[in-house]
Structure 1
Amino acid sequence: MLANGQTVIQMMEELAPKHYAVEGDKIGLQVGTLNKPVSKVLVALDVTDEVVDEAIAAGANLIIAHHAVIYRPLAKLDFSTPAGKLFEKLIKHDIAVYISHTNLDVADGGINDWMAEMLGLEGRDHLEEVHNDQLYKLVVFVPKAHHKQVLEAMWKNGAGQIGHYSNCSFNIDGTGTFLPGEGTDPFIGERGKLEQVAEVRIETIVPMSVRRKVVQAMLKAHPYEEVAYDLYAVDLKGRSFGLGRVGRMPEAATLEELVEKVKQVFEVPFVRVVGKLDKPVRKVAVLGGSGGRYVNKALFVGADVLVTGDIDYHTAHDALAAGLAIIDPGHNIEKLMKPRVAQWLARKLEDKGYATEVEASALSTEVFQFI
């Protein structure tokens, strides 16, 4: 059985939820429809004419890419222009395009984590917070006989997590009263008769990211026709998510040694370097894509070096003057997302019994030549 496009994207958003994205980022469905069976997914960094040809040859009818194919507002769709021809080809071959950009950067197990892992960084934290998982208090009243099943259903779906502690709740015995009216089908008691039932008041914490799932699981496990529960925001900081990663190298190295490691693990022939090559480096900040805006953040967290792409001349001078080294391996190193996303999504689809295939684009979309 083939997975529907919406099902594929629901799985993708388990890895990179849309609400992790930086405000204004161009993510989500950009071309086509997800309301169709998907035979094959092609995972790409960029959506170029060559990548679309690759999708056609592979029989893919959904492209999941990191960089937006529609980045600026379109005034018109002129099929005689390069961009117009690209969209015409996508539309004629019924290929949908879905973008996962800064949400994939921010996500745990996303691009910035992969970069940090490839460099062997330890004790990682994010470079800049962009999202906090707002906490809610869920209070529900349950008959004693069903206390355990309702509580475990909520825990199983993400409730009760406080820091490094899980399955957190508070439970109070009490008496619930209700009077079933006309048209009701009470689980306990009779219509027109006031009931008093031994119940447990359960209180637990629910992060916003799993709020709907927890409530649905609670309602499904609860025996009552009408469930009495409260859900309200609390003034407590939840889990933080952010762009970039900062960590420490297992052993001190020179900037030159780190440069060689960056070239090796990211498979790039050249990098641009700011700083003295014999400079000792231990604390490293990484950020996929264009990281010029994050030089001050890297300085603030005490990084010795920032590994990122697209550093401009004047930003490089400012970093050098402030004592921050920079290694710029280019924007295209985000290509590392292709095999990792493809593998993750293929495993999810297979676990659910879907025959939809997932393939990583084999094409390089590096726009620069190194001569």
Structure 2
Amino acid sequence: MTGIQGFVQRSGQVLSRCRGLAAGVAASLALSGCGVANHMIYKTTGDVMEGFARKHTVPYVLESSDLAMSCAMSEATSPLLMSFGRVTTNPDQLAVMLYLTAGGCMDEQAREFELDSLMAMRALEAEVAEDAMIQKKRAYALAAQRYFQAWKHHNTFYGNPDESECPDFDTDMDEFIYMAGLLSGLQALNAEIQSTSAIGVPKNVGSIVSRATSCLNNDKWWGAPMALRATVWAMIPGALPQGENAFERLAAADLQGEEAGVRLSHVFHALAAMNKGDDEMLRGVIRQHADSIKATPSNEEWRMVDAMATQLIVAISDRMWVENTGHRTPLGKLGSFWDEEPEAAEVMSLDDLL
């Protein structure tokens, strides 16, 4: 009996261990199944959100002129949308717009720090001026990193412009984002130079972008591709092709942009004039922009692009005003300058009242 009882007891222990093992295996399989299910849910969610953002959010934002709202959105949502690249296809095309816009946020901050520095220098506050310049360089360094991210995502999605043929664009939005990616490359290089840091932006980005603009329809995009190309010609020694005139091309692009209500070419023209050191030309471009936005409303589909152009023109004007007067461009005075004769006030004849 004792032997039988021992056998039964041992058998019960074995069965108990087997049941425990089976339960563990079952739980493991169940958890594994949950993991697979969760992965599929995450993937589907990521695909839906990326598709919605590309087809609806980006066009919606482009129709808005509220740059601050666009800036806040890109900085707040970029980590969320880009994190779905861990469970599904990386949203490279969407990332171009997200990082380009987020880079613009820091670019704007850097310009504000520069104005602070200029004001402090006029007030002979050397330490305040130096601190503002340090903050400016830090902001430009972060801007360069963001722009460079946009450029890398652009190259991943469309192919490196220096190594591949022009892509086939399925939609106008595909072509626009391609142009935005080219702009991000130039912005990355410019911000890196302004930051005096080494971010790793290739120094031949300008020439690469210049060649890649030939993939874009110049008439469709308000003359901006030619303006971008002509700016590179004007700013990089030896880049100007024989028989071309960069500033004539920029002037022609300006007219296209003004007619379309998307005046991005004015920004390129102003940058080229600044690089040349031509103050009269720079003032002329600013006046032209100010007159144009009064005469022609922004294109409804591309309000944000036109608003961005105006913001950059105002920033250039503000820098000129601060350097010479200690304050920014007065409200309603874009296109006018501190050293110009004020318009003669209208004088009412008292004789007419008698």
Q: TM-score range by the shorter chain?
A: under 0.3
Q: TM-score, normalised by structure 1?
A: 0.19
- Report the structure, 1 or 2, having the larger strand content: 1
- Report the structure, 1 or 2, having the larger helix content: 2
- Which structure is higher in RCO with an 8 Å CA cutoff and minimum separation 6? 1
The higher radius of gyration belongs to 2
Q: TM-score, normalised by structure 2?
A: 0.20
